[in-house]
Copies of this chain bind each other. A is one copy, B any other.
Amino acid sequence: MDNRKLIGVDLGGTTIKFGILTIEGEIQQKWSVRTNVLDEGSHIVPDIVHSINHHLDLYKMNRSQFVGIGMGTPGTVDRDKGTVVGAYNLNWKQTQPVKQQIEDGTGMPFALDNDANCAGLGERWKGAGNDGDDVVFITLGTGVGGGIIANHKLIHGVNGAGGEIGHIIVEPNGYQCTCGNHGCLEQYASATGVVHLAQDLAEEYEGSSRLKAMIDNGDEITSKIVFDLAKEDDYLANRVVDRVCYYLGLAVANISNTLNPEFAVIGGGVSAAGDFLLERVQKNFERFAFPTVRTSTRLKLAELGNDAGIIGAASLALQFKDKE
């Protein structure tokens, strides 16, 4: 039996999360440090190296007890070279030789992928994906990201843009997106998209609604407030949630008509609305899914929360298992 461990790192704009896992994907230790984005993010990789080395000393573990390290990161990843570029929330404007620095600093093999792909791998492996061969993961946060697993492997595509689910067009001529196009899913189903929809629908709506009163009053609105008010039967909030779930259902159905995954898993902050969200997405999914897909692809909520990232990242290190 192989008792070696994996290290998973989830690099985000605010915190860096770490985990030590068994090769079966069970988390044995977890810790996190603040992300220091000063000086063009030049402290980040040294901080990761230091934190790993420090914790191995703390736990009295040595390198031979580990298969390797996997990490999820924002930005555009070159998996072969092990570099990252364009991670603006880390202040990384230049190409960062992350793999080389971490391997040199820790003495362990290192692999990386983007953060949404890692979260998708985590949910597939130990969460809602039930270790299935074909799993689509959608994360609804500040933006909308995704990770697509088909035939048990992540789909990266020719230039790493595989899984850019947030930029599926759901409303031609719709809201303009940061990517320059109009009508991307991200503009309707991210936390900011929900708020944008709420503001627009409030302007047209004349009836009574606490959500409308808050918006008219200039209160700060969040996606959570919209969903909470919808659960309390606020009319306008329900119309907003209907629109969000329409676009999500359409996008998930079209992805599923293309790939027929076993599970389409919805995670991220907006998914905290739980079954209230899922049931309405499901209704729209059923309307737009091809009959075979309707009966064989299952929609589910993510199950791992914040741990998805470190679990999926750790799974990247499994590629080093049989290489000695």
Q: Are B254 and A162 touching (Cβ within 8 A)? A: no
Q: Are A158 and B257 touching (Cβ within 8 A)? A: no
Q: Copy number of this protein in the oligomer? A: 2
Q: Which residues of B contact A165 (CB under 8 A)?
A: 257-258
Q: In the complex, which of the residues A158, A169, A261 has the most CB atoms of chain B within 10 Å of its own CB atom?
A: A158
B-contact bits for A151-166, CB 8 A (1 contact / 0 none): 1010111111111110
**How far is it, in angstroms, between the C-alpha of A92 and the C-alpha of B158 when the chains are bound?**
39
Q: Which residues of B contact A85 (CB under 8 A)?
A: none
**Does A132 belong to the interface (CB within 8 Å)?**
yes
Given the known inter-chain contacts A151-B150, A250-B169, A262-B158, please indicate yes or no for A290 contacting B163, CB distance below 8 A.
no
Q: Which residues of B contact A180 (CB under 8 A)?
A: 291
**Does A292 belong to the interface (CB within 8 Å)?**
yes
Q: Quick one: which of B76, B158, B172, B297 contacts A288, CB cutoff 8 A?
A: B172
- A and B contact pairs by CB, cutoff 8 A, 28 listed: A134-B158, A146-B258, A148-B258, A150-B150, A150-B151, A151-B153, A155-B259, A156-B260, A157-B259, A157-B260, A157-B261, A158-B261, A159-B295, A161-B257, A161-B293, A162-B258, A162-B259, A162-B260, A164-B258, A164-B290, A164-B292, A164-B293, A167-B257, A169-B254, A169-B288, A181-B287, A181-B288, A184-B290
Contacts A161-B257, A162-B260, A169-B257 given; 19 further ones with Cβ under 8 A? A133-B158, A150-B153, A150-B162, A151-B151, A151-B155, A157-B293, A157-B296, A158-B297, A159-B260, A159-B297, A160-B260, A164-B258, A164-B290, A164-B293, A168-B258, A169-B253, A169-B288, A184-B290, A258-B258
Q: Which residues of A contact B (CB under 8 A)?
A: 76, 132-134, 146, 148, 150-151, 153, 155-165, 167-169, 172, 179-181, 184, 250, 253-255, 257-262, 287-293, 295-297
